[in-house]
């Protein structure tokens, strides 16, 4: 991979959920920039206030775009922006309520050497029966691999914070369109009930990528990032979180 580009989506709107006290637009972005340099980050500021947009303008991002699209459409906007890059580039799509820890950037690039799609988040729904339909007896069927930084497991799904090579995204673009803003006429007609979602259908998206394109998705164990919602903190993550920047 010749380079990494982050596509970071940020909004002043969102669903009201119970989240960690460390979770805010400013805190999550500042945490993220200790691990990923701002000149590698393209920010989509969707439905933000003038104050938030002015604050974002104080950072030396690769780009800063203001939109009023909503969740699914702003993801599709960032996805289309990623397709302008070379096939061997890595694209990391990030939502604005995640925390990362030291080693995240190096681990992400390692993961893309062994899997088509990579998430740094070890979702706790993979360890509880009755939440994720592919979990049985407190776990999912996985393959475990080892890279220089950590172990990885194949996993059945993740959120819309994930990475892939641009060449892979280009081949899978119509599947992504299906589960975000809707598909082209006549393509995957059996999936049309998932179209035009206000919020992307992340679980059916990753299951479709596996089923229709044979794609693999891996996550590190333990995680290098976590969602900020208190009900879904990655196992052991808060014990490992510290403020030192990445050196990778």
Tokens at residue 95, please? 């939502």
- C-alpha distances in angstroms, 26 versus 7, 72, 212? 16, 22, 38
How confident is residue 1, by pLDDT bands cut at 50, 70 and 90? Answer: low
Q: Is the pLDDT of residue 190 over 80?
A: no
pLDDT of residue 188: 52
Is there a contact between 156 and 207 (Cβ–Cβ < 8 Å)?
yes
Q: Which of 18-22, 32-36, 56-60 has the lowest mean pLDDT?
A: 18-22
pLDDT in tens, 72-86: 999 999 999 999 999
pTM: 0.92
How confident is residue 201, by pLDDT bands cut at 50, 70 and 90? Answer: confident
Instruction: Return the closest-CA partner of residue 29 out of 64, 4, 77.
Output: 64
* In the chain, % of residues over pLDDT 90: 82
103 backbone φψ class: left, alpha, beta (φ>0; ψ -120 to 50): left
For 104, the enclosing helix (H) or strand (E) is helix 104-111
For 152, the enclosing helix (H) or strand (E) is strand 151-154
Q: Is the pLDDT of residue 128 over 50?
A: yes
Average pLDDT, the chain: 91
Pairwise CA distance, residues 216 & 206, whole Å:
9
HSE-up (13 A, CA, CB side) for residue 41: 24
Q: Is the pLDDT of residue 197 over 50?
A: yes
3-state DSSP assignment of residue 21: coil
**178 phi and psi, to 5 degrees?**
-55, -45
Pairwise CA distance, residues 79 & 168, whole Å:
12
3-state DSSP assignment of residue 142: coil
Q: What is the mean pLDDT of residues 129-133?
A: 92
How confident is residue 195, by pLDDT bands cut at 50, 70 and 90? Answer: very low
Q: What is the mean pLDDT of residues 183-192?
A: 51
pLDDT of residue 181: 87
């Amino acid at each position: 991979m010749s380079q990494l580009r982050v596509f970071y989506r940020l909004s002043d709107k969102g669903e009201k959920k119970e989240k960690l006290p460390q979770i805010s637009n400013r805190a999550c972005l500042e945490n993220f920039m200790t691990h990923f340099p701002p000149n590698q980050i393209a920010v989509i500021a969707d439905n933000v206030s003038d104050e938030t947009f002015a604050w974002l303008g104080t950072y030396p991002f690769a780009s800063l775009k203001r939109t009023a699209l909503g969740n699914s459409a702003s993801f599709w906007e960032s996805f289309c922006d990623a397709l302008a890059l070379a096939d061997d580039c890595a694209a990391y799509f990030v939502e604005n309520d995640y925390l990362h820890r030291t080693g995240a950037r190096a681990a992400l690039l390692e993961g893309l050497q062994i899997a088509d799609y990579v998430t740094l988040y070890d979702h706790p729904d993979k360890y509880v029966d009755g939440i994720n339909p592919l979990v049985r007896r407190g776990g999912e069927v996985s393959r475990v691999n080892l890279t220089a930084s950590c172990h990885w497991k194949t996993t059945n799904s993740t959120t819309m914070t994930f990475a892939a090579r641009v060449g892979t995204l280009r081949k899978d673009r119509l599947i992504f369109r299906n589960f975000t803003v809707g598909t082209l006429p006549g393509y995957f007609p059996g999936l049309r009930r998932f179209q035009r979602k206000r919020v992307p259908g992340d679980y059916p998206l990753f299951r479709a990528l596996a089923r229709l394109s044979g794609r693999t998705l891996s996550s590190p164990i333990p995680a290098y990032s976590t969602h900020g919602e208190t009900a879904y903190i990655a196992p052991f993550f808060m014990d490992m979180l510290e403020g030192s920047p990445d050196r990778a």
